[in-house]
Structure 1
Amino acid sequence: MVNDEWGTAKGGISTVHRQIASIAVEAGLEVYVTALKVDEKDRKDAEDTKIKMILTPRADPYMSDKTPSLDWLLYHQTFFPHLREAIPKLDIIIGHAPITHDATLKMHEDVFTEANSLLFNHVIPEDTETYKSTWTPQRVQEKESRLFEAAGKFDIICSVGPRMKDHFSNKYRALSDPTCKHTHIEFIPRPDDKFFDIEMKEAPKNFEGCVFWVIAVGRVKGVEKLKGYDLVAKAMGNVAKSFQSMFKQPPKLVIRGIPRDESEETKEFFTRHQSPYLDVVMKSYGTQDDIRIDFQQSHLCIMASRSEPFGMIGLEAMATGIPTLVTKNSGLAEFINKDKNLSIYEESVVVDVGCNPSADESDIHQWEKAIRNVLSNYNVAFKRARQIKEILSKSEAIKKSIEDFKSVLRGTYNGD
């Protein structure tokens, strides 16, 4: 597996990386992982996951003062000259778009020509880039084109969730090379057992004096509109104001995932958008263990993105049994809609909003209404969240996805 890191500190993609490695071990494979930098905690976790080896750079001494970058994976002859020595024979090499797919193709071409190549799709640039501060039409087209061109060079492609599977299935219709007959499957990740193992403690029956904590996970700077933080701040501000007028303690908003060098800009953003009634608590990046504790200390998790290719954090929240609200414009919402057992809860979990990049008043109202409904009827919401957790823990769709992936790894997959 060509990864830039080992661990779960940077959210959905790194979490899925780790799960893929774990599934490959379960399937009976020896798993090797590249990482640019690891600490003892990472190595211990990899050992517990039964990873065969983490391969780190062997940098030129003249580069010892340089911070490792993705280019180090691309120029593997210089920084990873020991690949063939460490892995004399390889059956499958896995890359992740948009992070390591180029480096994976390069290693496949230069070193592991005998292996099958597998690509994981994690993003849909056409859906998400338009909301970023760096957006230009050219940038979107360039990113989509790179993913499209790379796909034609991989033997197997896994798209995370139904939204990405549908998007790329349509894109791949234009692959003109008649020799390109890759397998394309949908991969639905399963939340780690550490989330299912949580026994959420219900809030007191009498909410007098109770402060509700509402958590959202993900960095803010540059992706404020993509992640819907402008909507969240205003919706939560309105809820806080109404709680104050009813002589109740206003809820707090917790944001987990703020990089150290973006803390001031993030603070300024919320200062501009939050109401005087709303207290915003900002936290740094966190591992799954950190987020697990966050969920236990919170009452509601919200994923308000204007567009979300999948939404792993929302799935993990649902697995803990915390009431959760997710945007309609997400792969997770589509997964909920398609699952016959989860779909009966769709109306109470999925917030029906548009994808307007401006802070549309109707979308703010929808989020405000959904948040208020949970917090004002918390005992009902809490009981419903526990039912959703139980259903999710037995999801046949997730089980089938994982078994299909194991079959792909073993070379026995016979699906379409």
Structure 2
Amino acid sequence: MRRCPAPCAGRITRNEYMSNVREVEAFLRGKKEELIKDLEQRMLQLSEELRFEEAARIRDRLTAIRRAFDSQKVVAPELGNMDIIGIHQHEAHSMVNILTIRNGLLIGKKDFFLKNTTSSELSELLSEVIKFYYSKDMLYPKRIILSTQPEDRGTLQEWLRQRAGHRVSIAVARKSIEKKLLKMAQKNAEETLKVQLESPYRKTLEELKLRLSLKRTPYSIGAFDVSTTFGTHSVGAFVWWEGGDFQRDNYRHIRIKTVEGIDDYSMMEETIKRVFKSLEGLPDLVIIDGGRAHLEVALRAMDELLDKETEIDIIAVAKSPDRAILREGGEIMLDDGGPASLLLIAIRDEVHRFALSFHRKIRGKEFLESPLERVKGIGKKRRLALLKHFGSIDAIRKATVEEIASVKGMNRKIAERLKKSLQTL
């Protein structure tokens, strides 16, 4: 963004840098009068010293800060520093809206979307929201206002005290102004959730729900596939689609560890178990790239992983012809060219591409490196020396024992061992 003052490069002094840090801290704490007074004094001092360019920069900064503070809403000075947390739930999803009040000023708000919250009590959900939101370093409030007490209020308050370095109380809205702000946060959450759910893909996802007889609208879709070459270099892959696009932060790939030989079904089972354990949340719908047998294996794996209250829809999407295979039996052809069918095919094709790409990568890497890495006595330095001297694995394979032993760091015993190993490949 080219906005760093570059203190590490010496473009700004330590005192100037720390002054900027104090300004930011004062702004975030809502200390309007203190910050403006300090900047005005610095501007006057620079003008008296005839440092007009620097004074002009301070003036521009003052203008921007006044404009920012003017956009903030004065709530009530007596409220001090507090956060108001409002939640709105609809079907299987929830939206959280957090109002940030500092020195009686409403200085910002934060929204985040929660999936699969159907079975959560509000007190339990609030507890999870607090643990998630306040796990990051921040300027912690002195009070957190909610609609109801979280189930482990005492434990949360002690945890917050340790993180903030001061007491943070968790309380239900009592005063009129607190109730008004809580209602505002809840209304914000409701409106934001409505926008989230009414995405351009809403009709397509509703169509999927109906055609596939799903329990819920699949706002997020995950897909699994495996890839192998005759049981070697076997990998598993997972992709995540949400909000009209693939979410690469939620992509996963693994090297199969527990399966030997050609066994796609066991590979799929291992992939599902390991990937699901690494995800923070679960998708609304899971797609398996494969047929009925792959789907049955996936269902068994998910039954072992998930508790009875966690319900996730799962289907398989097969090729030639393209069709969706349902867990309850039956198949739905995907040859109509409609957006719902095309979406399922696109997600299946993406996970297949991702799995194949990772498979080719490790297969190529092992083809180049493993002949040397597998030989006892050849570490990184000797491996690099050999490749530098001969240029390729094939050239090493064609060399004599004497030629290999002549390379710096090598000896005849290791050269013979390497020559024997390469002849077996």
The TM-score normalised by the length of structure 1 is: 0.27
Structure with bigger strand share is 2
Q: TM (normalized to structure 2)?
A: 0.27
